[in-house]
């Protein structure tokens, strides 16, 4: 698993990555969203899940998601 924070990509194979949840409801929401993702596509393709502030422009979020 990899995470992107700002312009840096961190790989769990190289360093520990921790996700922190504020409460069980937040955890359940993320689990449900991840479970709802479509099955893995072509071999080697990257699956992406992005969380961003409500007030962020969608175009900025989509640009951020480009690797």
User: How many CB atoms lie under 10 A from the CB of residue 47?
Assistant: 10
Quote the pLDDT of residue 13.
95
Q: What is the pTM (predicted TM-score) of this model?
A: 0.69
Q: Choose among 24, 11, 4: nearest CA to 64.
A: 4
| Ordered alpha helix ranges (H), the chain | 24-35, 58-65
pLDDT in tens, 30-63: 999 888 877 766 555 678 888 999 999 999 999 9
């Amino acid at each position: 698993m990899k995470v992107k924070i700002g312009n840096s990509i961190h790989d769990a194979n190289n360093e520990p990555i921790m996700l922190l949840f504020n409460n069980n409801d937040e955890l359940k929401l993320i689990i449900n969203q991840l479970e709802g993702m479509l099955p893995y596509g072509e071999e080697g393709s990257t699956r992406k899940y992005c969380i961003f502030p409500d007030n962020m422009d969608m175009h900025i979020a989509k640009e951020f998601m480009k690797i």
